[in-house]
């Protein structure tokens, strides 16, 4: 059984930074209704951007709704979760007191951490930090995919979520039939031969 949250990622270049040889791109993380998410994440390295699809889904746009899925894994050596068309990566979440940090499978820690009491309860519940045993690691698969925009509660006059269909064009009225010339309306008379033509005899 997986857990998922939907986040509005908005590019924010003022949060860009570099650490050692790693370049981090800044983002604001908001709920779909526009409220800021209380979480200690504001920038992602190239690896994190690829996992979340930010490099593809935000190409040419300033923001995009992304659904992030978390699949708890009971056997770290078991097969990777499959989600056709989307990247899936396996991590360890190591908890130390109120803090939980994501680690790569080789044990290398990432910059992504979650803290009980600092981050929103729905976020730490999604990642599974509250249920993780202290000073231990749990395994999970993470994936992301674009999410559909939620419908607006009210629509302003003249603004619609779908284009208004054009009214059906009225076919032109048929032109009145031209009057038939009298020369064509009169039945032809008896067939006449040209003057001077000899009538054949039986």
Residues 63-116 have pLDDT tens digits of 999 999 999 999 999 999 999 999 999 999 999 999 999 999 999 999 999 999
pLDDT of residue 148: 83
Averaged pLDDT score across all residues of the chain:
81
3-class DSSP state of 199: coil
- The whole-angstrom separation of Cα 120 and Cα 130 is 12
Residue 150's pLDDT is what?
A: 63
- Residue 188 forms part of a structural domain: no
CB 64 within 8 A of CB 58: yes
**Does a structural domain hold residue 71?**
yes
Q: Report yes or no: 119 and 5 within 8 Å, Cβ to Cβ.
A: no
pLDDT tier for residue 62 given thresholds of 50, 70 and 90: very high
pLDDT category at 38 given cuts 50, 70, 90 is very high
pLDDT score of 37 more than 90: yes
Q: Under a CB-based contact definition with an 8 Å cutoff, are residues 95 and 134 in contact?
A: yes
Q: Is the pTM of this model over 0.95?
A: no
Number of structural domains (the chain) is 1
What is the pLDDT, as a whole number, of residue 119? 98
Q: Which domain holds residue 77?
A: 3-146
Query: Would you say residue 201 has pLDDT above 90?
Result: no
Structure confidence at residue 177 as a pLDDT band (50, 70, 90)? very low
Q: What percent of the chain has pLDDT over 70?
A: 73
pLDDT computed for residue 141 by the predictor:
98
Q: How far apart are CA 5 and CA 69, in angstroms?
A: 7
User: Is 32 within a domain?
Assistant: yes
Query: Is 121 strand, coil or helix?
Result: helix
- Indicate whether 154 belongs to any domain: no
Position 170 pLDDT exceeds 90: no
> For the CA atoms of the chain, what is the radius of gyration?
36
Q: Which residues contact 14 (CB under 8 A, 6 or more apart)?
A: 26
Give the count of beta carbons closer than 10 Å to the beta carbon of residue 158. Answer: 6
CB neighbours of residue 58 within 10 Å: 19
DSSP string, 141-194: EEEEEE-PPPPPSS--TT--SSPPPPPPPPPPPPPPPPPPPHHHHSPP----PP
Residue 101 within a domain:
yes
* Residue 7 backbone phi and psi in degrees, to 5: -125, 140
């Amino acid at each position: 059984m997986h857990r998922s949250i939907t986040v509005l990622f908005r590019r924010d270049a003022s949060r860009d930074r570099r650490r050692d040889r790693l370049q981090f791109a800044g983002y604001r993380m908001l709920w779909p209704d526009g409220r800021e998410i209380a979480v200690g994440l504001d920038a992602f390295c190239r690896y994190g951007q690829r996992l979340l699809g930010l490099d593809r889904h935000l190409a040419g746009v300033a923001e995009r709704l992304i659904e992030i899925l978390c699949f708890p894994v009971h056997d770290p050596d078991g097969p990777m979760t499959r989600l056709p068309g989307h990247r899936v990566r396996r991590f360890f979440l190591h908890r130390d007191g109120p803090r939980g940090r994501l680690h790569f499978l080789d044990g290398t820690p990432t910059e992504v951490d979650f803290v009980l009491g600092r981050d929103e309860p729905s976020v730490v519940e999604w990642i599974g930090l509250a249920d993780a045993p202290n000073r231990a690691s749990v395994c999970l698969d993470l994936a992301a995919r674009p999410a559909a925009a939620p419908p607006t509660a009210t629509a302003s006059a003249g603004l619609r979520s779908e284009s208004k269909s054009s009214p059906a064009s009225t076919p032109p009225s048929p032109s009145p039939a031209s009057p038939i010339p009298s020369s064509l309306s009169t039945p032809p008379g008896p067939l006449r031969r040209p003057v001077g033509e000899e009538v054949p005899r039986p």
